[in-house]
Structure 1
Amino acid sequence: MDKDAETSVPVHELIRTRWSPRALDPNGQVSEVALRAMLEAARWAPSNGNTQPARFMVGRRGDETYERILALLSQRNREWAWPSAVLVLACVATRNEKGQVPMAEYGVGLAVQNLVLQAVAEGVAAHQMGGFDREGAKLSFALPEDIQPLVVIALGTLGSPDQLDDARRDRELAPRRRRPLAELAFTGEWGNPAF
């Protein structure tokens, strides 16, 4: 499915073609090599002072970790995410041997973005979700106090939009939309567009 971003100037293909599908093939696979490459990409993300605050729980379809992550998803997310080949729970390490990790969530965001862009390069669909039970994740995985669950990423291969309910299918098939650059980048004073 062609969901390329409509940009005001050309951007890299990985960015132009990245989107968050919900229609995933229940028989689709993510190879171990591709999964490892995605996690390596995440590992090499920038972080404040090289603190590397990103941590990941990785569940492959059919294993116990996958089932525990799936059970944590909100009902609305479970309805479409169940065909994922892999579910990843991204967590943030808030402390290290030096104390509080500065800008830790920002570091995890950068790591997850690297993971997602590597997924695009590997031909893998990736969809990030905030709708899950964070307290349940802490209990289910016995997370240490300084590890906080942040986001779940569904990984898989594209499936048919026909497997989705009407509202999700419409969103799946609709063109991608973003605010214009003039509403995001300013110069001189707030609200004066840079472009």
Structure 2
Amino acid sequence: MEKPAVTDHDIHPLLANRWSPRAFDSKLVAPEKLAQLFEAARWSASCFNDQPWVFIVATKDDTINYQKMLDCLVPFNVAWAQAAPVLILAIAQKHFKHNGKPNAWGEYDAGQATANLVCQATALGLFAHQMGGFDADKAIATFHIPDTAKPMAAIAIGYAGEVSNLPIDLQEKETTPRVRQPLSSFVFTGDWQQTADFV
């Protein structure tokens, strides 16, 4: 299912076509496509080129690790994400590699790397749904994540599936038009809440 953004200004089709479905097909994602996703993440920008991101990946054909990842999601997300063939945990490392000092931009940079990954997924005809609804403490214990790293998001990736396969309460959400706040509400010049002229 496609659900392109209705934009006020032209943007690249890759960005307009990126959206977060919950209806996934069970078709596996080829290993070479998975590698492309993480190659895109690899080339993201980061402070001091520190690259403070880590991704833990579980594919549906790896039943043990997939179940471990699924068990870290909140029940609401399990209801639909269990159809996705790939589940990922995005993690930010808390300290710079070159000097061990706290990295105040690590979470930001991990987010940028994840955005690259998601855009690459869109380019490959895949869909990604990023989730805050997961148990970080359980993920830390399950995957032995050190206290020098922070789980930031879970991500379901796969091909679009049939909306009718979703639980009834989610089917309407899947077909509801996408909306965003106007540029005037967050693009400022000169002072807080002073909308930039060009928007």
Normalized against structure 2, the TM-score is what? Answer: 0.94
Supply the distance in 1 between the matched residues of 2:118 and 2:187 (Cα, whole angstroms): 24
Which amino acid in structure 2 is aligned with residue 162 of structure 1? S
Q: Which residue of 2 aligns with 1:191?
A: 193
* Counterpart residue number, 2:42: 43
| Post-superposition offset of 1:161 | 0.6
Q: CA deviation at 1:16?
A: 0.4
Q: What stretches of structure 1 of length at least 5 have no aligned partner?
A: none
Letter in 2 for 1:105: E
Aligned residue in 2 for 1:22: 22
Q: Which residue of 1 aligns with 2:57?
A: 58
Equivalent positions of 1:152-171 (< 5 A) are: 152-171=154-173
Query: More displaced, 180-189 or 72-81?
Result: 180-189
SS at match of 1:102: coil
Q: Which residue of 2 aligns with 1:173?
A: 175
Deviation at 1:187, TM superposition (A): 1.8
Aligned to 2:84: 84
- The whole-number CA distance in structure 1 between the counterparts of 2:104 and 2:122 is 29
Q: Report whether the alignment pairs 1:98 with 2:99.
A: yes
CA contact (8 A) 2:52 2:110 kept: yes
Structure 1 counterpart SS, 2:156? strand
Between stretches 167-176 and 108-117, larger displacement belongs to 167-176
Q: How far 1:157 moved relative to its partner?
A: 0.7
Deviation at 1:97, TM superposition (A): 4.2
Q: Deviations over 1:28-49 (max 9, x none)?
A: 1211111100001001110111
Distance in 2, Cα, partners of 1:146 & 1:69: 20
- Equivalent residues of 2:79, 2:167 under 8 A apart: no
1:167 Cα deviation (Å)?
Answer: 2.6
Report the equivalent of 1:145: 147
Taking the aligned partners of 2:73 and 2:94, their CA distance within structure 1 comes to 23
For the Cα contact (< 8 Å) 1:56–1:89, is it kept in 2?
yes
Of 44-53 and 164-173, more deviation after overlay is shown by: 164-173
> Counterparts of 1:123 and 1:4 in 2: how far apart (Å)?
13
Q: Greater CA deviation, 124-133 or 96-105? A: 96-105
Deviations 1:100-149 (A, max 9, x none): 22310000000000000000001111000111111111111111221221
Aligned-pair RMSD on alpha carbons? Answer: 1.1
Q: Quick one: which of 181, 184, 187 aligns to 1:182?
A: 184
User: What does the per-residue CA deviation read over 1:63-105, in whole Å, with 9 as the maximum and x for residues that have no partner?
Assistant: 1221111110000000000011111111111123412223100
Contact map agreement 2:47 2:105 (CA 8 A) in 1? yes
Report how many residues are paired.
194
Q: Which residue of 1 aligns with 2:31?
A: 32
Preserved CA contact (<8 Å) 2:132 2:153: yes
User: Is residue 8 of structure 1 aligned with residue 2 of structure 2?
Assistant: no
Q: Give 3-state SS (helix, strand or coil) of 1:21's partner.
A: coil
Tell whether 2:109 aligns with 1:74: no
- TM-score normalised by length of structure 1: 0.96
Query: What is the CA deviation profile of residues 147-180 of structure 1, one whole-angstrom value per residue up to 9, with x for unaligned ones?
Result: 2211111011111111112331111001100001
